[in-house]
Amino acid sequence: MAGDKGVRPINLRLVPNCTYCDPEVASVGLTEAKAKEQGYDVKVGKFPFPLPARRAFGEEEGFVKVVSEKKYDEILGVHIIGPHATELIAEACVAMQLESTAEELGRTMHAHRQFPRR
């Protein structure tokens, strides 16, 4: 089917895992435990969803956890729990495919709704 375009192996580490439940759960890459098991010097950033977003979606919980390695700041894994997690994980997949650092991902502007205060 691909003709003579050549076949490239799939990097299974970049395949997102999505669970369509309530709240949604999505991840890509290594967990903190797996990264340590594989010998990485790990650092972790955990960020709660902004309160207005949680209230707007009727959710009380939600966070993003980024697992990276300390020396080069390479993103090893991203884990999201909360509303629309299964859609948001694609951004992490792209960042990891392009070998972005955790700092680069954190400094990237992310569009979000601003909800009026009640």
Structure tokens at 23: 């709240």
Q: Active site residue: 79, 84, 110, 112, which one? A: 112
- Would you call 21 helix, strand, or coil by DSSP? coil
Torsion (CA) 105, 75, 15, 1 in degrees, nearest 10: 80
Q: Is 84 a catalytic residue?
A: no
Q: 34, 42 in Cβ contact below 8 A?
A: no
Residues marked active site are found at: 112
